[in-house]
Amino acid sequence: MSEQKTEVTEELIDQYLNLTNAARAKATPIHETGTPEAERLGIMMEMADAYTSDAKWFQVNGDLVRAFGAINYAHAWIDCAVKIGLLDGHGDDAMFTLP
């Protein structure tokens, strides 16, 4: 049985930042620009980007717990957009909760 991580470290934050950045790069919009769906997706991605920025700020300022929470929120916004059909997760069920 593998050992569970029980503390938030710089390395853990970096791992989740990298995962979220990879998810942001991999998932692609399904709907064309100018559609109501694309507008909703834009709002969701603004939230993901804002939480990613917050996570980096918290990390730089030594607040690793809040950094961990923020980067998980960021990934959740991207994952949600895949789940509800605004982004294509390209079949990656390890990175996303697919529809």
Q: The domain that contains 43 carries what CATH number?
A: 1.20.1270.90
Is residue 5 in a domain? no
How do the pLDDT tens digits run along the chain, 99 residues long? 566 768 999 999 999 999 999 999 999 999 999 999 999 999 999 999 999 999 999 999 999 999 999 999 999 999 999 999 999 999 999 999 988
Is residue 99 in a domain? no
Give the position of tokens 């603004």. Answer: 46
- Structural domain span for residue 70: 10-88
Is residue 2 in a domain? no
Is residue 48 in a domain? yes
Is residue 93 in a domain? no
Please tell me the pTM assigned to this model.
Answer: 0.91
Domain count, the chain: 1
